[in-house]
Amino acid sequence: MSDLKTFIEILDEKYGVKEINKEVSTKFEIAKIIKKYENKTLIFNNIAESDIPIVSGVCNTREKICTALNCKNLLKKTLDGMDNPKPIKKIEKLDKKEYTTKKVDLNLLPILRHYKKDGGRYITSGIVIAKDPNTGIRNASIHRMMVIDKNKVAIRIVPRDLYTYYKESEKLGKDLEVAVVIGVHPAVLFASSISVPINQDELEIANYFHQGEMKLFKCEDVDIEVPKSEIILEGKILANKRAEEGPFLDITGTYDLVRREPILKFEKMHIRKDAIYHAILPAGYEHMLLQGIPQEARIYKAVKNTLPTVKDVKLTEGGCCWLHAVISIKKRTEGDAKNVIMAALSAHPSLKHVVVTDEDIDISNLREVEYAIATRVRGDRDILIIPNVRGSSLDPMAKPDGTTTKVGIDATKPLKNG
């Protein structure tokens, strides 16, 4: 399996990579440049605060993600990966000739401070790999991490797999061993973004996504295996230890709350020779697509159980790839679209607005979607309004208790005139 550097070479050949050689700072300046060139892959070669260069925009278009996963249909590939995880047979020791092992000092890494109101510097592309304390099943997931000391971060953990592992460890009175990897092939990054059952290993999905056999490497001080990475951090999420995390400008371009989150203490760091650090801009296209696209497969699965003739699902960039979905169906009976709306809202509870169209509308073309709304919707009949329901914690219009109003629009043609 190729690594991040090899994939950057592919991106350069296929789409072009913009190199920035002037000295730039990790404090706001790099984030500003990434924002300016949101669709570009950028390499920053001269970082004021670090000797390690930065890459950004590795997965900031659907086309680049398709290239990484070696596919044309991203939804189909995601669904196939979820259904066909590929066990990993090759596990080796870290090559000491390839990595320099150092005492942990996060100040050596070019960790960005993105926006002025952020609580601090944030690791945004770090994949946390952990094992279930009871079963040993491995999990890989992306979490934001705010630097609070040279060897500690406050890590935002939402109630999913890693949260379950951590709470189980706390019950046992133990810290949870983890490894954090930064700078991996996008197939690993994308697989780590997918929501699958707790007994499924995301690294095996990554192994399916990429041609060839994927190797894992044993960490030295924690019982964790990791993929080929530019930077590997070994550590533990401390039991019953919390620190303030935030504010953080999240996927919607608005600030998330300050919370008391677990502390991750790093105990060893391995930096690859000639390493490059991957930085993902919060609320940038790379953030939106990596977080949002895997939810399209989740929505599709749920809708297909309701209506087998569903054709496609897209989370729109205007909706931050999180709050707005457009769904294409082959309508069979009146009421199909409303059933689809309800299924989609249940499958992805953060959804706020859903539009359902006929299959003749290209849902990747928002002009066509707007045309369907303009010419096929009668408000009193085709707009479904659901008040006072749980929504996304990232919705800036949600009530203080977390509830919001959700809207579904049936933009399909009536089967009969009337």
Active site residues: 250
Q: Report, in angstroms and rounded to the nearest whole number, the Rg of the chain calculated over CA atoms.
A: 22
**C-alpha span between 340 and 363 (Å, rounded):** 15
Q: Helix, strand, or coil here: 400?
A: coil
Q: Is the Cβ–Cβ distance between 41 and 56 less than 8 Å?
A: yes
**Could you check whether the bond before residue 396 is cis, i.e. omega within 30 degrees of 0?**
no
Q: Where are the alpha helices (DSSP H) in 153-194?
A: 161-171, 186-191
CB-based burial label for 137 (10 Å; 0-12, 13-18, 19+): middle
Phi, psi of 291 (to 5 degrees): -80, -35
Residues 6+ apart with CB under 8 A from 158: none
Q: Look up tokens 């020791």; give the residue.
A: 93
Beta bridge partners of 245: 259
| Cβ–Cβ < 8 Å for 264, 180 | yes
Question: What does DSSP say about strands 54-56 and 277-278: parallel, antiparallel, or unpaired?
Answer: parallel
Residue with tokens 């109003």: 405
d(CA 205, CA 214): 11
- State the Cα–Cα distance between residues 204 and 206, nearest whole angstrom: 5
Position of tokens 């894992």?
216
